[in-house]
Amino acid sequence: MKRLIGIASALALASALIAEPAKQGLFLDQNFQAAYNPLGMQLGTKLFYRVPLSKEGGILWESTKVDLGIENSLSPAFDFVGAFVDIEPIAVFDLALRAQFAGYYDALGYGFRDLEGYDSDYDASALDSIDSRNAAGFFLSAAPTLKFALGHVAFSDTLHVNYFNVDGGKGYFYEIFANCALAKSGVEFYNDAYLLWMLDSKLMLGLNDSILFVPGSGYRSQTLQAVGVLNRSLSGKLSLYTALTAGLYLEDRYLQYKPRAAGMAGIQYAF
């Protein structure tokens, strides 16, 4: 599911191409996300307050800002809720920090699954044979992003450093976000790079390269995908956005050279 959530990076990069000055105020963001290979879906909600950092003009400073708020990610298998801060001190760099309570539940038959170690099987048939259960913990994330836009072209590279501490922190589990085996007190790195071309003020097309790395086991997974992003303002306060990706796994334990696809659709309202 982590690559599903990474679509948000494409939306942020699309905004960089439009290069609108940051506006102070309270914002509500609501979106629905879905993915294939592995199959997943979730509802994302963010409520945040935005403060511009500079009154100076110029492409390096007019978009600088701090977003501070709360967010929730709800799926049939988990509910992550917590606080975040996104700091953009200059147009070419931003840093997103998150601290969330992680709740897994098996009411719908998905839930939390224990594994014996990094080498445990977690393909579809193996997961079906493992009993799911309720579990809880916390999730911390730091995600620095380098980005630039020149004319109709924009590029960004985001490194997500994610730390999980769940179910007491001892043992291993199936990490449903990234579709991998992870220690219950474990770290994963996820690098998400986008190159987009702006066809007009609303539509962008491009490529995405995503790499997952688990330092505890040395495991890697990589996808290369085509990307389409649509941003449209419906009024002075309400905007609509959608993003679609489709491509192949170049490297993965179970899905190498198999297709994957993901999509996101959402709205953002400025109070």
Structure confidence at residue 161 (pLDDT): 97
| pLDDT tens-digit series, residues 224-257 | 999 999 988 888 899 999 999 999 999 999 999 9
Q: d(Cα 50, Cα 77) in Å, to the nearest integer?
A: 31
pLDDT band at 107 (very low <50, low <70, confident <90, very high): confident
Q: d(Cα 200, Cα 231) in Å, to the nearest integer?
A: 10
Structure confidence at residue 45 (pLDDT): 96
Query: Does residue 17 register a pLDDT over 80?
Result: no
Query: Does residue 267 register a pLDDT over 60?
Result: yes
| Range 112-136 average pLDDT | 94
Q: Estimate to the nearest angstrom the gap between the alpha carbon of 170 and the chain centroid.
A: 26
Structure confidence at residue 19 (pLDDT): 56
pTM of the model: 0.91
Query: Does residue 13 register a pLDDT over 60?
Result: no
Q: Estimate to the nearest angstrom the gap between the alpha carbon of 184 and the chain centroid.
A: 20
Q: Which of 5, 75, 78 is nearest to 245 (CA)?
A: 5
Structure confidence at residue 217 (pLDDT): 96
Count of C-beta atoms within a 10 Å radius of residue 24 = 10
| Range 197-224 average pLDDT | 93
Query: Does residue 38 register a pLDDT over 70?
Result: yes
- CATH number for the domain running over 2-270: 2.40.128.130
Query: Does residue 170 register a pLDDT over 90?
Result: yes
Q: Let me know: does 132 contact 114? Beta carbons within 8 Å.
A: no
Q: What value does the mean pLDDT of the chain take?
A: 90
pLDDT band at 150 (very low <50, low <70, confident <90, very high): confident
Structure confidence at residue 177 (pLDDT): 83
Element (H, E) at 246: strand 238-251
